[in-house]
Amino acid sequence: MIDFLEQQAPHSYDRFVFLDAQDWMTDEVLTQLWTQVARVGKPGTRIIFRTAAAESPLETALPAELRSQFVYEAELSAQLFLQDRSAIYGGFHLYRKAD
């Protein structure tokens, strides 16, 4: 996915769905992925994913400068988690690229 995104034009996407793949990524790989999301994402881009744990790994994995480019929709994420019918994940997370 990182290789693919590196080839895309800046500000060319507005939605991402990562499911639980990030649970298996190192902090370095997460940083590479989200650096590309920041680059190719339009303002307001929405990113959703599930995690095994209730907490989002991004809150501690991403460098502060990169993390500050995204808004974590914590309240909406919690509401959407309650609606998630998969019943095997610990968390559902929605981030938005800051305007």
The count of other CB atoms within 10 Å of the CB of residue 67 is 17
Task: Read off the pTM.
Answer: 0.90
30 neighbors 62 (Cβ within 8 angstroms): yes
Arithmetic mean of pLDDT, 38-63 = 92
88 pLDDT above the threshold of 80 = no
Bridge partners (DSSP) listed for residue 47: 16, 95
Q: Structure tokens of 86? A: 């998969």
Q: What is the mean pLDDT of residues 37-46?
A: 97
Taking phi first (over 0 means left), then psi (-120 to 50 degrees means alpha), and beta for anything else, what does residue 71 get? beta
By the 8 A CB rule, do 16 and 45 touch?
yes
